């Protein structure tokens, strides 16, 4: 069976009822806060809030797990590089000259012998990790809770050019088809004796890379077919059209927008005036 | 005064860019308002190009050289953009998957109306009306991909009809549908034609349905309009059909063969009901005999090669695809695995290859559970030719395509060369060994895939809907390959809902419906279980129904083909005066 819905949520919630414009604002505010703050605790709270919102909205747990598992090598890399190498920045941000060591690598190790991991560097890495987590999770929160056609209407109401909105929404519409095409090609190759099960990671990557050529060819054919279909359906990219979906901002949208707006102003003020959210450690 | 003609094609010729020949040549054709015109022709005859020219996509989108003129409701297709012509011309394409652009059934209908600036209230009013007409009411919020193939095609038709076009053009809309879906589509179009004076132009290979539903038939050959006439005229022009790789409806074929036996036939019928009446008439004045037929009931005493035992399979979303399937395939058998779209035929085949694993029960190959094999190990012994050849082609030359599997399986370069040569010869592809497979015609692309699979020397070959989208010649060519392989001792399974093609090939028929095996018997017995076949939305070939009509009066064996039915009749020898 094909994955045709691109992980669309099946549950009705406040997130599915919100106008897409409100969700765009949520994305903007989360991005702003993620970059505004550097305190790992603030960032952790933000990440947990976004994660909680995803779960409450019905974003599939399997998808979230896959996303976090896929990102985990990056998270680990962030934690380790900051723990070992982020000395100068941590010292400057905390205005100290000595950082707290966690452990030191044995001196006889080649190239990295004697390197010291510090708590401050590690926590800065945690800040970056949670920041990335918030930014990654807020996208499915907004996209998977919105009907693709409502997305277009909302974007057009937000004065985004119709053609751009259509291209944006088409990406979500056709990515699952492309993914399904990819799987069919890999399945066809397995049916020609390609033992994917017994391949190492690098060999698998090479196999997947080879799939790109037929996939692009198929995407080109599909895009040509799509253009013919669209023209036959009277599509000409003109914003002067009617809309079946009436998008209207409800009270809850205005309320949310006001809260987000005020919260952002307050967060910026508190950060600038009192340093709330700046990088700090509790020891 | 409104012209009686909705479309007028004058001296139309068209050549695609970077193409040597003309796709359309000197076409002169007038299409009357409210008529149902079927366009038939072999693969490559220009049917699709003709369809695309009626809404201006040819030449507006493709470019190329266009001569002559096409007027649709008084508008020239060169001057008026396709998006504007959409007011008058609705277009439906072959593959339902590629023409659905929205994420819900109602949005799909709304899309064209939005583009045509139909007021929202009008859109809201038209959606339930049109969905009711195509029997999709209640599915408004469904994602189109949750629908069956037949429902998807009806949705595509509904989306085109929502704009209330005067002309509806359909390019092979039934090629992927099961027999029930085919009839359903034809009936739907006929209903709209009658209700709204809709003009229908439709291409396809469904001879039986075209004969029954179309008002006129146009025959295209190499871009030229060879003949236009009533279904009666066209489908009784047997040599014209044969020259163009087309087949007549089985009922016409049967009566032509009866005529060849010097039996007087007043008029060759092209529709089933007329055929049944003509049979009744013949029975009163002609001797009926019991023809000799090949015995097809014998059970092979070879060893079991494939076996399923109490097999159940559920998809992750809970859809039950297979229910308690018990099947035994003996070495050297030729089996037709039949059933409606979504009956579970391909799902079962994927279990043989370990591409899917049972939710419950067992699948065994040569006595060993398939889960103990890797897919690649099974694939080298069970060749699987999937429905769409394009999804199985991933290299840049025919030769590379054939060698792909052999390299994976670790054969020496000498062995690879020998097998490539052997496979390409077998499939008649030696001349095009260096050509990019995707540049070949569809029939040849299918043969490239078969060649690539044959190179592995599999013991079993599974053909999954191999005749879909092929003209009669193409379909027979592929089935002849399957027969050759069978004669070489291979076990063959053909998954199909084209029942009329199988009697000359398969001995055993396995009929599936809603994930279960409904019938597993010899093909003669299976084809004569008419009520059971209907339960799984299959219609027996017309020859079978004619045979049953004869059998209702005179005891005869279970006949399958027009030739066998015709052999029942012999002229009465007049006594000497």
Q: What is the pLDDT of residues B221-260, one digit of tens each?
A: 999 999 999 999 999 999 999 999 899 999 999 999 999 9
pLDDT for B296 equals 56
Distance separating alpha carbons of residues A259 and B467, to the nearest angstrom:
61
The answer on A152 and A173 residing in a single domain is no
Average confidence (pLDDT) over B339-355: 91
Question: For chain A, what is the domain count?
Answer: 2
pLDDT for B197 equals 93
User: For residue A92, what are the contacts with CB-CB under 8 A and spacing of at least 6?
Assistant: none
Assigned domain for A41 exists: yes
Q: What is the DSSP letter of B571?
A: P
The answer on A83 and A185 residing in a single domain is no
Of A73-77, A79-83, B173-177, B221-225, the least confident? B173-177
The answer on A48 and A13 residing in a single domain is yes
A121 dihedral zone (left: phi>0; alpha: psi -120 to 50; beta): alpha
pLDDT for A245 equals 86
Distance separating alpha carbons of residues B148 and B12, to the nearest angstrom:
38
Interchain proximity B98–A210, CB inside 8 Å? no
> What's the angle, vertex CA B457, arms to CA B453 and CA B459, rounded to 5?
100
Assigned domain for A29 exists: yes
The answer to whether residue B576 scores a pLDDT higher than 50 is no
Q: Count Cβ–Cβ pairs < 8 Å, chain A vs chain B.
A: 159
Could you tell me the sign of the dihedral formed by the alpha carbons of A209, A72, A79, A140, in that order? positive
Beta strands in B108-246 (DSSP E): 167-170, 199-203, 216-221, 224-229
Assigned domain for A2 exists: no
Q: What is the pLDDT of residues B395-446, one digit of tens each?
A: 889 999 999 999 988 899 999 999 999 999 988 899 999 998 888 877 788 8
Interchain proximity B392–A188, CB inside 8 Å? yes
Which H helix or E strand runs over B112?
Answer: helix B105-115
Assigned domain for A269 exists: yes
Distance separating alpha carbons of residues B144 and B158, to the nearest angstrom:
13
The answer on A193 and A182 residing in a single domain is yes
The answer on A74 and A189 residing in a single domain is no
The answer on A180 and A41 residing in a single domain is no
Interchain proximity A244–B120, CB inside 8 Å? yes
Q: What is the pLDDT of residues B132-155, one digit of tens each?
A: 888 888 999 888 877 877 788 889
Q: Among A197, A228, A246, whose Cβ lies nearest the Cβ of B61?
A: A228
What is the pLDDT confidence band of residue B43, given thresholds at 50, 70 and 90?
A: confident
The answer on A234 and A254 residing in a single domain is no
Q: Which residues between 303 and 322 in chain B have a beta carbon less than 8 angstroms from any beta carbon of chain A?
A: 315-317, 319
Q: Which residues pair with A266 in a beta bridge?
A: none
Assigned domain for A1 exists: no
Task: Sheet containing B460-464: give its strands across.
Answer: B382-385, B460-464, B491-496, B334-339, B508-513, B516-522
Interchain proximity B101–A229, CB inside 8 Å? yes
User: For residue A225, what are the contacts with CB-CB under 8 A and spacing of at least 6?
Assistant: B93, B98, B99
Residue B63 contacts A where some CB pair is shorter than 8 Å: no
Q: Which residues between 162 and 201 in chain A have a beta carbon less than 8 angstroms from any beta carbon of chain B?
A: 173, 181, 184-185, 187-198
The answer on A269 and A166 residing in a single domain is no
Residue B438 contacts A where some CB pair is shorter than 8 Å: yes
Chain A nearest-CA distance from B125, in A, is: 11
Assigned domain for A181 exists: yes
User: Which of these, B366, B381, B398, lies nearest to B454 by C-alpha position?
Assistant: B381
What is the pLDDT confidence band of residue B455, given thresholds at 50, 70 and 90?
A: very high
pLDDT for B572 equals 67
Q: What is the pLDDT of residues A166-200, one digit of tens each?
A: 888 888 777 777 888 888 888 888 899 888 878 88
Q: Among A210, A213, A232, whose Cβ lies nearest the Cβ of B82?
A: A232
Q: What is the pLDDT of residues A117-145, one digit of tens each?
A: 999 999 999 999 999 999 999 999 998 99
Contact A179, A3 (CB under 8 A): yes
Contact B244, B45 (CB under 8 A): yes
Instruction: Read off the tokens for A263.
Output: 């919260």
Of the ranges A142-151, A237-246, B342-351, B385-394, the best mean pLDDT one: B342-351
The answer on A175 and A145 residing in a single domain is no
pLDDT for B447 equals 87
Q: What is the pLDDT of residues B78-102, one digit of tens each?
A: 999 999 999 999 999 888 878 888 8
The answer on A113 and A146 residing in a single domain is yes
β pairing state of B216-221 and B224-229: antiparallel
Residue B370 contacts A where some CB pair is shorter than 8 Å: no
The answer on A279 and A178 residing in a single domain is no
pLDDT for A4 equals 47
In a 13 Å sphere around the CA of B159, the CA atoms on its Cβ side amount to 33
Residue B499 burial (CB count, 10 A)? 23
How many angstroms separate the Cα of B488 from the Cα of each of A8, A102, B296, B484?
Answer: 50, 73, 19, 6
What is the pLDDT confidence band of residue A1, given thresholds at 50, 70 and 90?
A: very low
Average confidence (pLDDT) over B165-189: 90
What is the pLDDT confidence band of residue B295, given thresholds at 50, 70 and 90?
A: low
Q: Which residues pair with B491 in a beta bridge?
A: B460
Distance separating alpha carbons of residues B74 and B84, to the nearest angstrom:
13
Distance separating alpha carbons of residues B96 and B150, to the nearest angstrom:
9
Average confidence (pLDDT) over B508-522: 94
Q: Say whether B539 sits in a helix, a strand or coil.
A: coil
**Phi/psi at A116 (nearest 5 deg)?**
-115, 130
Domain extent at residue A204: 162-238
The answer on A130 and A37 residing in a single domain is yes
Give how far the C-alpha of residue B12 lies from the chain's centroid of Cα atoms, to the nearest Å. Answer: 29
- Give the orientation angle of helix B149-162 with respect to helix B105-115, to 10 degrees: 30
Quick one: closest CA in A to B159, which residue? A233
What is the pLDDT confidence band of residue B270, given thresholds at 50, 70 and 90?
A: very high
What is the pLDDT confidence band of residue B468, given thresholds at 50, 70 and 90?
A: confident
Assigned domain for A21 exists: yes
User: For residue B391, what are the contacts with CB-CB under 8 A and spacing of at least 6?
Assistant: A181, A184, A185, A188, A218
pLDDT higher at B438 or B548: B548
How many angstroms separate the Cα of B529 from the Cα of each of A185, B371, B400, B519?
Answer: 39, 36, 46, 9
Instruction: Read off the tokens for A70.
Output: 């896929």
Q: Which residue has tokens 């919102």? A: A53
The answer to whether residue B16 scores a pLDDT higher than 80 is yes
Asked casually if ipTM beats, i.e. exceeds, 0.85, the reply is no
Which H helix or E strand runs over B377?
Answer: helix B375-379
């Amino acid at each position: 069976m094909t994955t045709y819905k691109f992980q669309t949520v099946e549950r009705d919630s406040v997130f599915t009822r919100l106008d897409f414009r409100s969700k765009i604002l949520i994305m903007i505010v989360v991005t702003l806060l993620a970059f505004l703050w550097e305190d790992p605790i603030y960032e952790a709270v933000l990440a947990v809030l976004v994660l909680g919102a995803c779960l409450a909205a019905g974003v599939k747990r399997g998808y979230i797990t896959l996303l976090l598992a896929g990102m985990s090598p990056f998270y680990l890399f962030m934690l380790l590089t900051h723990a070992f190498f982020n000395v100068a920045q941590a010292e400057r941000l905390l205005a100290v000259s000595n950082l707290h060591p966690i452990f030191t690598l044995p001196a006889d190790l080649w190239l990295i012998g004697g390197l010291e991991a510090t708590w401050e560097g590690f926590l800065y890495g945690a800040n970056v990790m949670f920041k990335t987590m918030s930014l990654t999770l807020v996208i499915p929160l907004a996209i998977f809770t919105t009907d693709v056609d409502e997305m277009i209407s909302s974007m057009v109401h937000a004065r985004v050019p119709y053609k751009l909105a259509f291209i944006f929404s088409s990406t979500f519409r056709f990515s699952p088809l492309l993914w399904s095409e990819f799987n069919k090609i890999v399945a066809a190759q397995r049916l020609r004796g390609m033992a994917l099960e017994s391949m190492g990671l690098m060999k698998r990557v090479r196999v997947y890379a080879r799939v790109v050529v037929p996939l692009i060819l198929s995407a080109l054919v599909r895009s040509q077919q799509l253009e013919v279909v669209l023209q036959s359906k009277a599509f000409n990219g003109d914003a002067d059209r009617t809309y079946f979906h009436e998008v209207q901002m409800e009270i809850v949208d205005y309320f949310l927008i006001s809260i987000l707006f005020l919260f952002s102003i307050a967060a910026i003020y508190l950060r600038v005036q009192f340093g709330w959210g700046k990088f700090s450690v509790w020891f | 005064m409104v012209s009686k003609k909705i479309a007028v094609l004058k001296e139309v010729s068209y050549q695609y860019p970077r193409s040597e020949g003309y796709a359309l040549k000197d076409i002169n054709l007038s299409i009357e308002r409210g008529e149902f015109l079927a366009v038939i022709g072999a693969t490559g005859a220009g049917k699709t190009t003709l369809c695309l020219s009626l809404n201006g996509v040819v030449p507006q989108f493709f470019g190329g050289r266009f001569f002559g003129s096409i007027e649709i409701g008084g508008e020239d297709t060169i001057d008026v953009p396709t998006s504007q012509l959409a007011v008058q011309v609705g277009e439906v394409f072959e593959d339902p998957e590629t023409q659905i652009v929205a994420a819900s059934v109602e949005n799909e209908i709304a899309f064209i109306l939005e583009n045509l600036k139909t007021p929202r209230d009008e859109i809201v009013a038209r959606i339930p009306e049109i969905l009711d007409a195509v029997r999709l009411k209640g599915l408004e919020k469904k994602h189109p991909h949750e629908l069956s193939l037949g429902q998807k095609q009806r949705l595509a038709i509904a989306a085109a009809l929502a704009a209330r076009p005067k002309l509806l053009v359909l390019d092979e809309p039934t090629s992927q549908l099961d027999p029930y879906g085919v009839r359903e589509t034809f009936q739907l179009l006929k209903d709209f034609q009658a209700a709204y004076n809709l003009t229908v132009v439709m291409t396809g290979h469904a001879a039986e349905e075209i004969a029954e539903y179309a008002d006129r038939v146009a025959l295209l050959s190499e871009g030229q309009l060879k003949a236009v006439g009533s279904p009666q005229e066209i489908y009784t022009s047997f040599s014209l059909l044969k020259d163009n790789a087309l087949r007549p409806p089985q009922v016409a074929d049967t009566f032509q063969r009866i005529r060849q036996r010097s039996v007087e036939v007043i008029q060759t019928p092209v529709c089933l009901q007329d055929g049944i009446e003509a049979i009744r008439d013949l029975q009163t004045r002609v001797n009926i005999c019991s023809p000799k037929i090949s015995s097809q009931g014998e059970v092979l005493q070879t060893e079991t090669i494939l076996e399923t035992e109490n097999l159940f399979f559920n998809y992750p979303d809970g859809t039950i695809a297979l229910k308690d399937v018990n099947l035994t395939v003996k070495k050297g058998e030729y089996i037709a695995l039949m059933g409606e779209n979504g009956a579970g035929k391909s799902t079962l085949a994927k279990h043989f290859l370990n591409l899917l694993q049972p939710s419950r029960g067992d699948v065994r190959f040569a006595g060993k559970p398939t889960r103990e094999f890797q897919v690649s190990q099974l694939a080298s012994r069970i060749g699987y030719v999937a429905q769409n050849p394009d999804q199985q082609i991933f290299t840049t030359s025919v030769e590379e395509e054939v060698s792909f599997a052999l390299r994976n399986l670790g054969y020496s370069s000498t062995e690879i060369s020998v097998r490539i040569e052997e496979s390409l010869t077998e499939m008649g592809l030696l001349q095009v060994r260096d050509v990019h497979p995707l540049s070949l015609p569809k029939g040849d692309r299918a043969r490239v895939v078969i060649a690539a699979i044959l190179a592995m020397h599999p013991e079993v070959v599974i053909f999954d809907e191999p005749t879909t989208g092929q003209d009669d010649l193409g379909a027979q060519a592929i089935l002849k390959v399957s027969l050759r392989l069978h004669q070489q001792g291979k076990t063959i399974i053909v998954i199909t809902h084209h029942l009329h093609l199988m009697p000359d090939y398969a001995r055993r028929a396995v009929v599936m419906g809603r994930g279960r095996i409904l019938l597993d018997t010899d093909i003669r017995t299976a084809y004569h279980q008419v009520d059971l076949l209907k339960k799984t939305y299959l219609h027996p070939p017309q020859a079978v129904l004619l045979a049953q009509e004869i059998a209702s009066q005179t005891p005869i064996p279970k006949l399958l083909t027009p030739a066998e039915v015709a052999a029942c009749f012999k002229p009465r020898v007049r006594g000497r005066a």
